[in-house]
Amino acid sequence: MPEPAPLEFLGLLSPNGSAERVLVLGARMAADCFAGGTRMRGHCSYQLVVLRPSPEECRSGLELLVGEVLAGLAAEGVAYVLVPPSWRKRAGQLLMGHGLILGTPIAHHPDLSTTRYLLPLKTSAMRYAADHLLPGHAWPRRTLKALARMPSSPALLTRALPDVGIVATRPGSRPAFAWLNPSGSAAFEAEVVLKRSWRRRDGQMVLHVLNSDGRATSVAKVASSNCTPKGHKTEAETLKGLAPSAIRAGARVPEVRRAGFLHTHRLLVESVVPGTPAGGYLAGSPRRFRTLIERLSCWLQRWASMTVVRRKLTGRCLREEVLEPASLVEPWLPYGAVYLAKLDALCSRAEGSILPFVAVHGDLTMWNVLVDAESARRGEEIGIVDWEMARDEGLPLGDFLYGAADAAAAVGGYADRGAAFDDCFTSGGRYSRWVAGLTNQLTCSLGLSDDLTILMTHACWLGHAAREVASTPEGSRGPFVDIVGRLGARRI
């Protein structure tokens, strides 16, 4: 399936959530950035009109270009105007002069061509993005937190940032993102922060809907593809099936509010789980690591005991979970062929063993684990979100191993995942004795033999490394491939 056009996500601005007809104006925007995008204005009106002129076009005829925007804009359409910083004030004046209603300016981060975030330039939205979406110690997060404390910062950023979109609609029409309004009324004053998935071939878009106080009221996920692989459940189906046991084990999880399609794209709208992502909570605080990982381990142990199914480990399962991911990663390992031979021998010994299959989350990064200061002090339940990778029956131990290493990485601001892995799993590492004790509790509770524990460890990191390789077309060696390389150098 071909990847979506690079700026296709801007169609979500439309009140209906999709723009089948897009008019593209200005020399700095290619029409093929949108499916069905055109530069030719015919006799029809357009649900989305995007204007991105060059400085020369602004000097010679910005008024004419804004007139073309107005002429092509449908009654329920949205205009999205991306002009150079020095022309934004003038563009806003011209749009209002034509009677259009301006929304909150939207910044593209890191830039338009590689947009990961669409951020409304409003202090409440900026504060939410800094606390819930941006990585731990990363300078954008620290900078955004500081700017969110300054009432004048939205106006300053609107004038200064290179890629800021001005949103304009006709009077009386529904505003941008109106499809997210559960009541269906014309009044929709929420701000929407959009985050795109880092997985290039997945391209899922996650929209956080904020009220006037900057608190999230719902989360919507829009998939880039309209299909789910055969034999795989949708996230909504998985969440509905696993939520009861996850809650009984001591986790807070989202409720499914709406599941279906937004035109041709799969849509899931969920409730908001209270709390702050542990990725930020742990930043620079090694003492919090132990408390959080112990709580996470206890939850995983309880959840596993509720969902465990013991059955024979088949050759097919070993191929899919271990050997095939290893084959994908092998070209990037210094001694890949030797490592594959070791794994093959380990799988041969394990085939036919009775393995405790358990429910798994599959992506237990600390950005999917939510905590708040009060519950952390009381040792109460944690929040778990993003169940896209979850499974009813999966290999045991992987959630804990990945979660522990990710938590260690979060303490260091995700500066070095390899070092975080060593801190947890290498003799003499900063947290190795603590993590080893919790790992032993999990393996004993499940009755895992030493060989199966080793095999589950390799399966965990091979899965993450294989997804890393698959999501990076140029095939560069990433941190999870490096971790598998470290494992491969050890004796199996």
Tens of pLDDT, residue by residue over 241-262, are 999 999 999 999 999 999 999 9
Distances from the Cα of 387 to the Cα of 122, 141, 253, 255, 384, angstroms: 30, 25, 9, 11, 8
Residue indicated by tokens 């929709």? 188
Is 272 strand, coil or helix?
Answer: coil
Q: Which of 317-326, 368-377, 455-464 has the lowest mean pLDDT?
A: 368-377
Per-residue pLDDT, 35: 66
What would the mean pLDDT of 441-451 be, rounded to a whole number? 96
Residue 257 is classified by DSSP as E
Per-residue pLDDT, 42: 64
Q: Which amino acid is at 444?
A: C
Which of 467, 293, 464 lies closest to 395 in space, CA to CA? 464
Per-residue pLDDT, 72: 94
Report how far residue 425's alpha carbon sits from residue 404's, in angstroms, rounded to the nearest whole number: 9
Q: Is 138 a residue whose pLDDT tops 70?
A: no
Domains located in the chain, CATH noted: 8-225 (no CATH), 276-488 (3.90.1200.10)
265 close to 223: Cβ distance less than 8 angstroms: yes
pLDDT tens digits for range 383-420: 999 999 999 999 999 999 999 999 999 999 899 999 99
Starting at the earlier edge strand, list the strands of the sheet with 251-252.
Answer: 251-252, 382-384, 369-371, 276-277
Q: Is 111 a residue whose pLDDT tops 70?
A: yes
Residue indicated by tokens 């030719």? 40
Report how far residue 184's alpha carbon sits from residue 17's, in angstroms, rounded to the nearest whole number: 13
Per-residue pLDDT, 372: 79
36: phi > 0 → left, psi -120 to 50 → alpha, else beta; which? left
Report how far residue 161's alpha carbon sits from residue 152's, in angstroms, rounded to the nearest whole number: 14
**What percent of the chain is modeled with pLDDT above 70?**
89
pLDDT tens digits for range 167-200: 999 999 999 999 998 765 556 678 999 998 765 4
Report how far residue 282's alpha carbon sits from residue 215's, in angstroms, rounded to the nearest whole number: 22
196 close to 222: Cβ distance less than 8 angstroms: no
Tokens representing 16 are 């209906």
Cβ neighbour number for residue 376 with a 10 Å cutoff: 18
Considering only residues 245 and 336, tell me which one the structure prediction assigns the higher pLDDT: 245
Whats the size of the chain, residue-wise?
492
Q: Is 233 a residue whose pLDDT tops 90?
A: no
Report how far residue 381's alpha carbon sits from residue 364's, in angstroms, rounded to the nearest whole number: 15
Report how far residue 29's alpha carbon sits from residue 39's, in angstroms, rounded to the nearest whole number: 10
Q: Which amino acid is at 10?
A: L
- What would the 3-class secondary structure string for 64-133 be? HHHHHHHHHEEEEEEEEECCCHHHHHHHHHHHHHCCCEECCCEEEECCCCCCCEEEECCHHHHHHHHHHC
Helix and strand totals (H; E) in the chain: 17, 20
Q: Which of 226-230, 272-276, 435-439 has the lowest mean pLDDT?
A: 226-230
Distances from the Cα of 27 to the Cα of 22, 54, 64, 82, 286, angstroms: 16, 6, 14, 11, 51
Which band of pLDDT confidence, cut at 50, 70 and 90, is reported for residue 28?
confident
357 close to 393: Cβ distance less than 8 angstroms: yes
